[in-house]
A and B are shown apart, each in its own frame.
Chain A
Amino acid sequence: MSMKIGEEPFHARVKSGIDNSFMRGAVAGAQERLHARRLKAAAELGNWEEWRALGEEIRQHTLANLDFYLFQLSENVAKRGGHVFFAQTAEEASQYILDVAMEKQAKKIVKSKSMVTEEIQLNAVLEKAGCEVIETDLGEYILQMDDHDPPSHIVAPALHKNKEQIRDVFRQKLAYDKTEKPEELALHARQTLRREYLSADIGITGCNFAIAESGSITLVTNEGNADLVTALPKTQITVMGMERIVPTFAEMEVLVSLLTRSAVGQKLTSYITVLTGPRHLEEVDGPEEFHLVIVDNGRSNILGTEFQPVLQCIRCAACVNVCPVYRHIGGHSYGSIYSGPIGAVLSPLLGGYDDYKELPYASTLCAACTEACPVKIPLHELLHKHRQVIVEQEGRAPISEKLAMKAFGLGAASTTFYKLGSKMAPSVLNPFTTNERISKGPGPLKAWTAIREFPAPEKERFRDWFHHRKKAGDQP
């Protein structure tokens, strides 16, 4: 499965995550900052719960009528002279993009951040065919320069790296001779990447929201890289997971407002760009040719099941930023480009239980993720459902574990359950429980503050706990 990162088994990944103290500090710091910013941004609106309800309603309606909206989108893209390719599999998607690249005799391709192109392993396919592929999002660029180090956070992919490491990568790979100051590093990337945009043959982007009524795509960034990726090369290819769509501009607006507030606590990011078709004849910048690739790759199998709500996701990472397990083990432990609670729900669905059956257990079911989600995906319930499926249908766990399921069923308020979840991480909860901002948080944080009442975590390492559990299936 292509969304997979690394071959190490789950407990080994977790161990290296826990042992990486810089990473853990960085994750904790980032979580706290992003979390506080999200709360502030939500509080400013005053009626955040209403916004969430609207976000949920829009996403549910769109998914329930996804066939229609994709039809309408494709019609409108074609009307504006763009080409649409519907790809049922990852292979079909990357093959089509490769065909376009070959037809254009593309040598250099610039990309802006896109999870779905990671999912379909597009870079590897293009590179194998001899194309140079350059990531332009600063975080992604850093990872790419560091021999394709995998991302560890949906929104801040290079979160696990410190600035000294980044400086060293730049020195080795980019003839960099300045210090580890973020400003100097960013300036160097700016200068290096400028040349790439200007000389690239193709620009490839992801898509935050496609707009069905007009055949447009919406890109949300702070760096402005997506704008240069789409303004300068002659050919633009946009790749979208098939669920990333809204009916009209009005719904796009609402979801963008939810996304930017939830992801980074900004009212809007610096650049929200809505692109429709190729440029007009008399325009000078913008692509001459536009291709939209709509990817299923396992998503339609989720439709019509109890897991359908996961497709409401707008990839804001708010759930990641409140997750005590992510905080402790870091993004790489999930073994998937999708980490945190959303990754623990989505990865087994897209990648199968063989690779990802541990992930639904990498959770305390504390429901902080569900409370944080701007489109009200019941993440902890879906994690619970995964466990039920694994135990009952897949027969991957012994009978005694079915008994454990009963304990899970008691929900986040259960002491028995809490002991099970928190054993993994004696230190996990401390920073949050002593954090004043959080204990004073508004509605969505009730679940978090409730945790404060829980007994102190016991001192068993997660890997040990996990190892035991896996071997014996013991009820704790």
Chain B
Amino acid sequence: MKRGRIHRREAFLNQVAERLGRKAYATNVQAPQWRHQPQWTVFQGYSEDDLLEVLKTQCAAIHTDVFETNKEQLPLTLQKVVSRYGGGPVVTWNDPRFAEYGLSHLLYHHWRNSGIHVHIWDPSLGAVNITEAEQANIGITFSDITLAESGTVVLFSDRGKGRTVSFLPQNYICIIPKSTIVPRMTQAAFYIHQQVKAGKEVASCINFITGPSNSADIEMNLVVGVHGPVKAAYVVVADG
């Protein structure tokens, strides 16, 4: 990637440094060990099942339906959930997990043969993907990391993993492998921090998504479904 330009940094930072009582701006600082670390104690020692219970309880508060299934039943469950939310058109990521979880037949044959339009994200098609996402009734992705406490799915963008799949369609379904559930955002942030420290590039877009979009801007009334999806559902797959 070509390096970007930085304008007017010297004078700006030297002014800041001067106000902080330094002659020149600092170029090496280590963040200390914080004296308090309450974030690590939340749901400490919880098992995968315990965390799933936490997640399910939280989903009631965030207007999100939860469906539990296993790998064998997943195609059938997903099919049911999709028709429950009104069927196609459907847009999905191009993510190897769809094949791993036995969903290829559903995506490439079953739905298409039964008249449900399916668009699988394809970077070579360019902006067509966005039009497809915009016209889709349902967007489907996997969760990369799942946060029990807040009922949040974490998505890392990538070439096959377009960001708008989870935003533009009317409804959003996220498939959550049970093994991706962690107590809270702390664990996800720590993981990403470790990646950065190891010199890995972070995804250009990391979405922490917690249920459907909403707003309370009109007289503090909660309206569910504003700019993003109007409804959201999680399909949790036992994958142990």
List the A side residues contacting B125 at CB < 8 Å. 284
- How many angstroms between the C-alpha atoms of A138 and B220 in the bound complex? 12
Does B196 reach chain A (CB closer than 8 Å)? yes
From B3, B28, B151, B192, give the contact of A68 (CB < 8 A): B28
Does B193 reach chain A (CB closer than 8 Å)? yes
Interface 1/0 per residue, B208-223 and A, CB below 8 Å? 1111111111111101
Provided the pairs A193-B227, A253-B39, A253-B185 are in contact, do residues A83 and B5 lie with their beta carbons within 8 angstroms? yes
Does A235 reach chain B (CB closer than 8 Å)? no
Provided the pairs A65-B26, A285-B129 are in contact, do residues A270 and B16 lie with their beta carbons within 8 angstroms? no
From B26, B151, B167, give the contact of A231 (CB < 8 A): B167
Does B240 reach chain A (CB closer than 8 Å)? no
Question: Are B185 and A285 interface neighbours, CB within 8 A?
Answer: no
Question: Are B12 and A294 interface neighbours, CB within 8 A?
Answer: yes
From B5, B126, B217, give the contact of A284 (CB < 8 A): B126
Does B60 reach chain A (CB closer than 8 Å)? no
Provided the pairs A158-B217, A213-B193, A283-B204 are in contact, do residues A85 and B7 lie with their beta carbons within 8 angstroms? yes
List the B side residues contacting A241 at CB < 8 Å. none
Question: Are B4 and A81 interface neighbours, CB within 8 A?
Answer: yes
Does A454 reach chain B (CB closer than 8 Å)? no
Question: Are B227 and A225 interface neighbours, CB within 8 A?
Answer: yes
Point out which of B36, B151, B212 has the most chain A C-beta atoms below 10 A from its C-beta.
B36
User: Which residue of B has the minimal Cβ distance to A137?
Assistant: B217
Question: Are A279 and B4 interface neighbours, CB within 8 A?
Answer: no
Taking residues whose C-beta sits less than 8 angstroms from the other chain, chain A's interface range is: 35 or more
Provided the pairs A67-B16, A231-B163, A273-B207 are in contact, do residues A182 and B185 lie with their beta carbons within 8 angstroms? no
Provided the pairs A30-B220, A69-B29 are in contact, do residues A85 and B227 lie with their beta carbons within 8 angstroms? no
Scan residues 237-277 of chain A and give those whose CB is less than 8 A from a CB of chain B.
242, 247-254, 256-257, 264, 266-277
- How many angstroms between the C-alpha atoms of A294 and B157 in the bound complex? 26
Does B225 reach chain A (CB closer than 8 Å)? yes
Which of A13-21, A51-59, A122-130, A422-430 lines the interface with chain B? A51-59
Question: Are A78 and B4 interface neighbours, CB within 8 A?
Answer: yes
List the A side residues contacting B45 at CB < 8 Å. none
Does A171 reach chain B (CB closer than 8 Å)? no
Question: Are B193 and A249 interface neighbours, CB within 8 A?
Answer: yes
Does A396 reach chain B (CB closer than 8 Å)? no
Does B13 reach chain A (CB closer than 8 Å)? yes
Q: How many A-B residue pairs have CB under 8 A?
A: 317
Does B150 reach chain A (CB closer than 8 Å)? yes
Does A329 reach chain B (CB closer than 8 Å)? no
List the A side residues contacting B192 at CB < 8 Å. 249
- How many angstroms between the C-alpha atoms of A225 and B227 in the bound complex? 6
Question: Are A71 and B207 interface neighbours, CB within 8 A?
Answer: no
Within the complex, what minimum Cβ distance (angstroms) separates A321 from chain B? 12
Provided the pairs A65-B29, A67-B16, A283-B159 are in contact, do residues A186 and B6 lie with their beta carbons within 8 angstroms? no
Scan residues 143-181 of chain A and give those whose CB is less than 8 A from a CB of chain B.
156-159, 162-163, 166
Interface 1/0 per residue, B151-179 and A, CB below 8 Å? 11000011100111001100000000000
Question: Are A270 and B214 interface neighbours, CB within 8 A?
Answer: yes
List the B side residues contacting A197 at CB < 8 Å. 227
Scan residues 4-54 of chain B and give those whose CB is less than 8 A from a CB of chain A.
4-9, 11-13, 15-17, 19-22, 25-29, 31-32, 34-39, 41-42
Does B202 reach chain A (CB closer than 8 Å)? yes
From B1, B152, B190, give the contact of A80 (CB < 8 A): B1
List the B side residues contacting A57 at CB < 8 Å. 34-36
Does B99 reach chain A (CB closer than 8 Å)? no
Question: Are A286 and B204 interface neighbours, CB within 8 A?
Answer: yes
User: Which residue of A has the minimal Cβ distance to B159?
Assistant: A282
Does A398 reach chain B (CB closer than 8 Å)? no
Does A452 reach chain B (CB closer than 8 Å)? no
Which of A297-305, A330-338, A412-420, A457-465 lines the interface with chain B? A297-305
Question: Are A88 and B2 interface neighbours, CB within 8 A?
Answer: no
Point out which of A58, A224, A282 has the most chain B C-beta atoms below 10 A from its C-beta.
A224
User: Which residue of B has the minimal Cβ distance to A62?
Assistant: B31
Does A406 reach chain B (CB closer than 8 Å)? no
Provided the pairs A81-B4, A138-B218, A252-B189 are in contact, do residues A67 and B25 lie with their beta carbons within 8 angstroms? yes
Provided the pairs A224-B226, A276-B203 are in contact, do residues A304 and B2 lie with their beta carbons within 8 angstroms? no
From A33, A183, A267, A283, give the contact of B158 (CB < 8 A): A283
Scan residues 70-127 of chain B and give those whose CB is less than 8 A from a CB of chain A.
121, 123, 125-127
User: Which residue of B has the minimal Cβ distance to A22?
Assistant: B219
Question: Are A223 and B7 interface neighbours, CB within 8 A?
Answer: no
- How many angstroms between the C-alpha atoms of A434 and B69 in the bound complex? 49
Does A467 reach chain B (CB closer than 8 Å)? no
Scan residues 28-63 of chain A and give those whose CB is less than 8 A from a CB of chain B.
29-30, 33, 45, 47, 50-51, 53-54, 57-58, 61
User: Which residue of B has the minimal Cβ distance to A242?
Assistant: B16
List the A side residues contacting B68 at CB < 8 Å. none
Question: Are B216 and A156 interface neighbours, CB within 8 A?
Answer: yes
List the A side residues contacting B201 at CB < 8 Å. 80, 276
Provided the pairs A182-B221, A214-B196, A270-B228 are in contact, do residues A227 and B163 lie with their beta carbons within 8 angstroms? yes
Provided the pairs A271-B213, A273-B207, A285-B130 are in contact, do residues A77 and B4 lie with their beta carbons within 8 angstroms? yes
New A-B contacts (9) at CB < 8 Å, excluding given A138-B218, A162-B219 = A65-B29, A70-B16, A138-B215, A228-B164, A231-B163, A250-B186, A270-B62, A278-B204, A283-B162
Cross-chain pairs A/B with CB under 8 angstroms, 6 sampled: A45-B38, A81-B1, A85-B8, A88-B15, A224-B167, A274-B208
7 smallest A-B Cβ distances: which pairs?
Answer: A224-B228, A253-B189, A139-B217, A67-B25, A86-B12, A272-B208, A224-B213
**A residues whose Cβ falls under 8 Å from a Cβ of B:** 26, 29-30, 33, 45, 47, 50-51, 53-54, 57-58, 61, 64-71, 74-75, 77-88, 92, 96, 136-139, 142, 156-159, 162-163, 166, 182-183, 185-187, 189-190, 193-194, 197-198, 213-214, 216, 222-225, 227-228, 230-232, 242, 247-254, 256-257, 264, 266-280, 282-286, 290, 294, 296, 300-301, 303-304
